[in-house]
Amino acid sequence: MPPFIHNVADLIRRVLFLARPYGRVKLAAIFSLSLAQALFQVIGITSIFPFLAIAADPERIRRSHFGTEFLSLFPPMENRQLLLVAGIIAIVALLLSNAVNLLSEYARTRYAQNFAHWLRVRLLRRMASQPYTYFLQRNSGDLLKKILGDVNNYTAGVLLPLLDTVARVFTAVLLLVTLFLVQPVIALSAAIVLGAYYVIIFRLLTRKRREVDESLRTSVAGSYREAQQMLGGIKPVMVHRAEEHFLSRFSRHSAVLAEMYARLPIFANSARYLVEPLAFGGLVVAVLLLAARGRDFSDILPNLGVMALAGYRLLPSLQLVYAQLTQVSSMRHAVDEVYDEFVAAETDKSTPPVIRVESVMPANPFHWNNAITLCEVSYRYPGASRLALEGLSLVLPKHTSLGVIGPTGSGKSTLVDLLLGLYYATAGEILIDGQPLTPELVPSWRASIGYVPQDIFLIDDTITRNIAFGLPDEKIDQARLREACAMAQILDFIEAELHNGFGTNVGERGIRLSGGQRQRIGLARALYRRPSLLILDEATSALDTGTEAKFLEALHGLSGTLTMVVAAHRLSAVANCEQVIDLAKEIPAVVVDAK
């Protein structure tokens, strides 16, 4: 198979792979409407034939077989009346043709935009169902680019142009058939010349289009990445006066984008400026040939009118097909990016089992009664040469507390992430009441956990929505909300010091709150879920001594009501825990007396 045909077939296969789950019936309806559009285009064009024939020689059409059949549809009338009726029929047919054309284009655009919405949600859901290690190996700017940029380029730059191309191809074929019935030699010559012309131009620009495609791929990704890094870290960027550095990095990618998008219309329209004089020249030659054969002008006029109007419709269709295929070729990278994102998880057998898309839905909490047991648990990060955690064994009875201390890199956060089900042990296993913590159990297990990290992630919204994280307003329990805040010792601050109370907007990432307030909001969020297991990962490391003391006091008040795992650098942070593991002492880690 020639490379060009192979590439086209592969592109169509990938496009259909992504579009098929959205609905085969919808796609079939779009194709059917495109065919109807082509048929009505031909009807609109051929409807002028009787009008032109009557205008040229009304008596001749009365004598012809076609004219006799046409006139039998109406009562007897004079030539002027007949011309008026034929003109009205032609106008109505053209209006109907244009109405179907408009309806078809609207349906294709509506389908493409609704599909883009569906695909964006599906892609984000797919990403959310991946293992945590998936996100460690990817840049969030690249993922945003796929969800927003690539999906938009795929639908607007590939899918919609392909649907338009199908409609235009239907139209072009039927118009050529119509021309063939009127003037077969001229129609066949036009099809060969115009087809060869567009194919040659398309093939000549193939290498340039591939260069544009690759440049767009890298510059779009770079633009997303650099803008996100600058805005996401705006505080250190401003403090270190690094604005120009990040702006220049973004500017390089943006300049390439501007250049590539400027080239695309040239590639798409270059053929048009030569084909129009070529087509008109062909029409002139056809008229001269017919005249040279001694044909009467009244004979030529109807055929000439149909050919002219058909050409008027055919040339834009051919040009649009060429322009759309050029755009599709230049946007191929968007199809590949989205396609690869869906296919990668199915073909990569080296990753742990993937929690399927359905698992992102809320799950019922897992109820356990006895203990969490770690049996010779080890973990190695993907691509790492050494174990981050090795041979750890322990038993954590329910309603007791475990402190985990050790220097940076000793494995505290790794242990926490294993307990959260974000990683799966390289060796050994974690048991909950004797049941292994498997990917199938993880959704319900996480539903029973409250988690307070070192850096609390707050959304740019109210305190209420930050504490009842992920719940719609109608499902937020106000009594439970106040209870969680009271346990986290932040209720008085919210109600007494904030003008809007729980309706106060905290700003992006909680920028309007202090570090201690953010930590206690995080603790309230964890407690709102009424977890059976509360995990704190370096939750006090960024707090001053006084704030840390208040935070630990709030935790101490929860002792005996739930199971706690507290990971910290300092022994003081785990002083009230019933068991303490020092990961720096030896391997496997030793349980030491917190006192």
What's the total number of domains in the chain? 3
| pLDDT at residue 397, rounded to an integer | 92
25 secondary structure, DSSP code: H
Report yes or no on 296 lying in a domain. yes
379 vs 554: which has the higher pLDDT: 379
Is residue 328 domain-shared with residue 435, that is, in the same domain? Answer: no
E strands, 156-198, in order: none
* Mean pLDDT, residues 505-533 taken together: 86
> Any bridge partners for residue 405, and if so which?
568, 582
**Domain final residue pick, 229, 257, 285:** 257
Is residue 201 domain-shared with residue 218, that is, in the same domain? Answer: no
Report yes or no on 264 lying in a domain. no
Task: For the beta carbon of residue 539, count every other beta carbon within 10 angstroms.
Answer: 27
Decide the pairing of beta strands 563-568 and 533-537: parallel
Query: What's the pLDDT band for 273 if we cut at 50, 70, 90?
Result: low
| pLDDT at residue 162, rounded to an integer | 82
Tokens of 7: 């590439």
Report yes or no on 406 lying in a domain. yes
* Mean pLDDT, residues 104-109 taken together: 88
Is 478 a residue whose pLDDT tops 80?
Answer: yes
| pLDDT at residue 359, rounded to an integer | 45
Q: Indicate the Cα dihedral angle 134, 135, 139, 140, nearest 10°.
A: 130
- Residue 500 maps to which CATH number? 3.40.50.300
- Long-range contacts, stretch 228-232, CB < 8 angstroms, 24+ apart: 228/140, 228/141, 228/144, 229/141
Is residue 168 domain-shared with residue 226, that is, in the same domain? Answer: no
Is residue 74 domain-shared with residue 157, that is, in the same domain? Answer: yes
* Cα angle for residues 431, 433, 436 (degrees, 5° grid): 30
Report yes or no on 262 lying in a domain. no
Is residue 494 domain-shared with residue 582, that is, in the same domain? Answer: yes
Contact 398, 361 (CB under 8 A): no
Most confident of 298-312, 319-333, 343-357, 524-538: 524-538
> Any bridge partners for residue 590, and if so which?
582
* Mean pLDDT, residues 177-183 taken together: 72
Could you tell me the residue range of the domain that residue 247 belongs to?
Answer: 209-257
| pLDDT at residue 587, rounded to an integer | 52
Is residue 315 domain-shared with residue 429, that is, in the same domain? Answer: no
Tokens of 338: 């989205």
CA contacts within 13 A on the Cβ side of 578 = 12
Query: What's the pLDDT band for 4 if we cut at 50, 70, 90?
Result: low
| pLDDT at residue 84, rounded to an integer | 84
Is 413 a residue whose pLDDT tops 80?
Answer: yes
| pLDDT at residue 351, rounded to an integer | 47
Report helix, strand or coil for 352. coil
Query: What's the pLDDT band for 595 if we cut at 50, 70, 90?
Result: very low
Is residue 388 domain-shared with residue 472, that is, in the same domain? Answer: yes
Alpha carbon 518 to chain centroid distance? 32
- Residue 120 maps to which CATH number? 1.20.1560.10
Report yes or no on 525 lying in a domain. yes
Report yes or no on 450 lying in a domain. yes
* Mean pLDDT, residues 535-562 taken together: 75
DSSP secondary structure string for all residues of 312-350 = HHHHHHHHHHHHHHHHHHHTHHHHHHHHHHHHHHHH-TT
| pLDDT at residue 350, rounded to an integer | 45
Alpha carbon 458 to chain centroid distance? 24
| pLDDT at residue 371, rounded to an integer | 92
| pLDDT at residue 209, rounded to an integer | 73
